Amino acid sequence: MSRTYRFLIVDVFTDVPLAGNQLAVFTDARGLSDEQMQVLAREIGFSETTFVLPAERGGDIRMRIFTPVRELPFAGHPTLGTAFALAGPLQSVVMRIETGAGTVPVVLEREGAKLVFGRMTQPLPTVASYPSPGKLFAALGVSDSLLPVEVYDNGVPHLYVELGSDAEVVALAPDFSALGDLVGQTGVNCFAVDGTRVKTRMFAPELGVFEDPATGSAAGPLALHLARHGRIAWGDEIIISQGAEIGRPSTLYACAEGGADGVTTVEVGGSAVVVARGEFSV
């Protein structure tokens, strides 16, 4: 016999509907198998879909995250969007979300009864150099990176290529086939910096996401990358613009606390809006 599973659609890293990064949130996924979750994520086709389950490690909820092709231990916009989807009716101020990469607290801000902003403390990423990036540059159609190309992994690996201007970022037209062969399931983030304002685009064809409108899992490591290399001070908040090239303008806020001895905290924030409700019979 089939069961009905309700879901919400949330636009994340935006405060207006039909922008930002789309997310489907199944608010009670008890009874769904791993295979059914993956099929539902593929059916919906967003960069990620989340499935909410009872907490197991002292959090408020447990969350599983699926792209159209695989499960992820952590991702940013699913974490923030799921908090917005559930915290309204729960009247929560802090939601502790259990993920495959640990429990992620999300602090939520309200204006009256309305949720207006959320800020998550992300898992601290590992950092590794990306050797011999020449083929990567060729696949992106760029000549070089202004900072060393490094890979940060907080549950989702991301590498970073700095270009000289917003216009260079906008003009990117990657060879997705070559890019996927080179980096596999690592997100490729190309960005340009102007003070604490950052223009970025993220490509992950092997994750089923040719270009992502807003990448929360990459935003925190990007702040860390800039702080480690002296482009911003530790604790400075960067404002990231992403997604306009695919018609989903998004704004993300990120900062990294730390110093010469290393990073202590990585935070990413933004807004989100619930735009639709529906149900699947499975």
Please give the positions annotated as active site.
48
The CA distance from 83 to 119, in Å, is 10
The CA distance from 12 to 273, in Å, is 7
Q: Which residues are within 8 A (CB) of 237 and not within 5 positions of it... i.e. 6 or more apart?
A: 196, 223, 253, 254, 255
